[in-house]
Structure 1
Amino acid sequence: MNVLRIGHVKLRVMDMPEAVEHYEKTLGMYKVHEDEQGDVYLKCWDEWDKYSVILTPSDRAGMDHVAFKVRQDSDLDTLHERIEAWGIGTRWLPENTLPDTGRILAFKLPSGHDMYLYAHKALVGTQVGTINPDPWPDNVRGAGAHWLDHCLLMCELNPETGVNTVAENTRFMVECLGFFLTEQVMVGPEGAIQAATWLSCSTTPHDIAFVGGPTSGFHHMAFFLDSWHDVLKAADVMAKRKVRIDVAPTRHGITRGETIYFFDPSGNRNETFAGLGYLAQPDRPVTTWSEDRLGSGIFYHTGELVASFTDVYT
């Protein structure tokens, strides 16, 4: 049983032409498919599976589901048994419920977010191929995002009532799905409340993260860039295209990533994220941030939180 990586995020958008233009011209993705329901499927130039983002028409923004790819089809049966034994209900979606994708195991996280697991998606290759490839293709546009890197989900956290779906999600992801914890934020009396977690199933600092808030929702999805210089170039692209920027280029203390946050036309937050940060391994000691240093953890340069970063999500 092995969860490999994040596979795709399906987002609700309120104006499809505007959304497609944003993901193509700002981030540099490529439209690969549009289905009969009007959903649009996109990929980045350095991804080999057919798509990593699905845009679906809606009257409200937010995430429909996040999907992770597992190593082989039999892993889905093993995970089905484990998730059901955990007490979480599952449902099977047949092959090609999503285009060019095998059967899907669908369920809800303790926080209420929808998650899909699948083993097969059509392999179409990267823009540079696998035989004597160039470092990048000639037709890179916008920020030139390499791949969908991770997502962060807001989870209901209410210390007064004892509700903490950050901790519930984290325990489920680690004990049931085989992720491992890389970093966490501990708050409250004696630092006893797990208020945010970053988890990996690969070698990157996080494939998914959970942060506590008044309600559950979607915070952002992130796209990988090579370097700090590429993050600055992405900011130039956004300024030129009049994209609404949430947080200007800076560095995280948590994950050590170099970053810029911005919004698509529907208000869904995106991130361009650069830097390996560190080699994530299951036996690496967990990094813990205390409540008094949270500002530095999120925005290392200023050490100060930006209100919209924690208060605005879809």
Structure 2
Amino acid sequence: MGVMRIGHVALRVMDMEAALKHYENVVGMKVTHKDDQGNVYLKCWDEWDKYSVILSLADHAGMNHVAYKVESDQDLDVFRTAIEAKGVKTEFLKENSLPFVGRMLKFNLPSGHDMRLYAQKECVDTDVGSTNPDPWPDDLRGAGSHWLDHVLLMCELNPEKGINKVEENTRFFKEALGFFQTEQILVGPGGSIQLSSFLSCSSKPHDIAFVGGDRPGLHHVSFFLDSWHDILKAGDIMAKNRTRIDVPPTRHGLTRGETIYFFDPSGNRNETFAGLGYQAQPDKPVITWTEDQAARGIFYHTGVLEESFTNVYT
């Protein structure tokens, strides 16, 4: 039993035509379905399930929900018991509440974010198939992202009022969902405040992350690339498409990942992320970054953190 990986993220966009141009021509996804409500579903070439991103037209940007895939349908009942034992209300959504998806367990995180668990989604295979596959398809577009890798969510943090939703989410994911913590940033007197937390349900450095802010929201959705060379090429693709780049190619100290941050036309922050960093395991000591080195943990090369990086999000 357990959570396997991120399944999809549902995003709000304000201009569907511009959003599709971005996610197809810059990120490198392809449309796999459009429903009667005007929602558009996309996948990356190396993903085998029907979709990993849902775009919905709205008057403001942000995230509607994030969903993670569990091993079996029976796991949903076990997780419901564990989640409700933490005082969190749950709701089962019937099969096909989302197209091509089995029943889903819906609940809100301590931070207020809408999360879903599910076990079944239509499998359409990767674009190179599962029999004698080539290393990549011939029709790659944009950055050619392999898969949706993770999300980073902003959580309310107000030490003066005793509010730290980063800590609450971390405990919830460890105790109710079976994730383990890989890294954290501690600030304040004696490192008493957990500013950020990175958690994994796999061997990746993180499958989800949380950072403290003024309000809950979406900081970024991340798409995986193979290498530093692919990150640089992604930067070229963004420049050719006049994409708004937030942070040019650099390295994280946290997770050791190589990265570019950029925005979709509605203002949702995206990331292309390369490098598995290290093998994450439950018994590996948690990596801690102290307040004096936090900026280098986030941007290792310069050690400089622009205020807008944590203040601007949807």
Q: Do these two structures clear the TM 0.5 threshold for a shared fold by scoring above it? A: yes
**Contact 1:231 1:259 (C-alpha < 8 Å) held by counterparts:** yes
Aligned residue for 1:89?
89
Secondary structure in structure 1 of the residue aligned to 2:194: strand
Aligned residue for 1:238?
238
Structure-to-structure mapping, 1:115-154, within 5 angstroms:
115-154=115-154
Paired AA for residue 179 in structure 1: F
**Contact 1:147 1:224 (C-alpha < 8 Å) held by counterparts:** yes
- Deviation string, structure 1 residues 117-160 (Cα, Å, up to 9, x no partner): 00000000000001111100000010000000000000000011
Distance 1:76 1:130 in 2: 28
Aligned residue for 2:155?
155
**Contact 1:245 1:263 (C-alpha < 8 Å) held by counterparts:** yes
Structure-to-structure mapping, 1:27-42, within 5 angstroms:
27-42=27-42
Distance 2:92 2:28 in 1: 33
Aligned residue for 1:60?
60
Q: Offset of 1:244 from its aligned partner? A: 0.2
Q: Offset of 1:306 from its aligned partner? A: 1.8
Distance 1:177 1:263 in 2: 30
Distance 1:57 1:40 in 2: 9
- Deviation string, structure 1 residues 244-284 (Cα, Å, up to 9, x no partner): 00000000000000000000000000000000100010111
Distance 1:163 1:255 in 2: 26
Distance 1:130 1:175 in 2: 36
Aligned residue for 2:284?
284
**Contact 1:8 1:148 (C-alpha < 8 Å) held by counterparts:** yes
Aligned residue for 2:301?
301
Paired AA for residue 97 in structure 2: T
Equivalent residues, number: 314
TM normalised by structure 1 equals 1.00
2:18 is the alignment partner of 1:18: yes
- Deviation string, structure 1 residues 175-210 (Cα, Å, up to 9, x no partner): 110000000011110001111000000110000000
**Contact 1:246 1:308 (C-alpha < 8 Å) held by counterparts:** no
Secondary structure in structure 1 of the residue aligned to 2:96: coil
Aligned residue for 1:50?
50
**Contact 1:40 1:55 (C-alpha < 8 Å) held by counterparts:** yes
Structure-to-structure mapping, 1:153-192, within 5 angstroms:
153-192=153-192
Q: Offset of 1:308 from its aligned partner? A: 1.8
2:72 is the alignment partner of 1:72: yes
Distance 1:85 1:274 in 2: 37
Distance 1:179 1:141 in 2: 34
**Contact 1:197 1:210 (C-alpha < 8 Å) held by counterparts:** yes
Listed as ranges, the gaps of 5+ residues in structure 1 are none
Paired AA for residue 73 in structure 1: D
Aligned residue for 2:310?
310
Following TM superposition, where does structure 1 have runs of at least 4 consecutive aligned residues deviating by more than 2 angstroms? none
Paired AA for residue 312 in structure 1: V
Secondary structure in structure 1 of the residue aligned to 2:293: helix
Paired AA for residue 216 in structure 2: S
- Deviation string, structure 1 residues 216-236 (Cα, Å, up to 9, x no partner): 100000000000000000000
2:209 is the alignment partner of 1:200: no
Listed as ranges, the gaps of 5+ residues in structure 2 are none
Distance 1:236 1:253 in 2: 24
Structure-to-structure mapping, 1:204-243, within 5 angstroms:
204-243=204-243
Q: Offset of 1:85 from its aligned partner? A: 1.1
Distance 1:119 1:141 in 2: 30
